[in-house]
Amino acid sequence: MDYLTSMRVSASGLAANRKRLEAISSNIANAQTTRTVEGGPYRKKEVVFGAEPSREKFSDILEGKMNENVQEVHATEVISSNKPPILKYEPGHPDANEQGYVAYPDINVMTEMADMIATSRNYEANVTALNTAKSMALKALEISR
């Protein structure tokens, strides 16, 4: 694998982790949101990842037997969870139903925080890999002088 391919793979990981961090932060910010534009409580967002071969040009596809197993990760879509909301008895709440129950999103803030820590560590690992590939490329240029 060459330097540019490794940088491209790390960059795809950075972009995918950024998308996941956005979804997690949105979930944490809306953990108590009982009313949305769509109606009802906020629905937890989840990012779906996919992988595809790391190829930049058509010639890479033709010549690419060597890098056949190198994959880039992509955030293919962001979906809304279809878990039912949590009902809490709060008869004075403006969003309470006729029985006095308020529908809250089924979001566990502690789980979201743990996911955020894991995702930020994944992001940091991709930054480290990108910086390592960059420094290796710079050292190779220094050797050729």
Whether the pLDDT of residue 6 is over 60: the answer is yes
Q: What percent of the chain has pLDDT over 90?
A: 61
Q: What is the pLDDT of residues 42-58, one digit of tens each?
A: 999 999 999 877 665 55
Beta-bridge partners for 51: 73
When pLDDT is averaged across residues 94-109 and rounded to a whole number, the result is: 94
How many Cβ atoms sit within 10 Å of the Cβ of residue 113? 12
- Whether 23 contacts 48, CB under 8 Å: no
**Would you list the domain boundaries of the chain?**
3-143
Q: What is the pLDDT of residues 66-79, one digit of tens each?
A: 555 678 888 889 99
pLDDT of the residue at 93: 93
When pLDDT is averaged across residues 120-136 and rounded to a whole number, the result is: 93
pLDDT of the residue at 52: 79
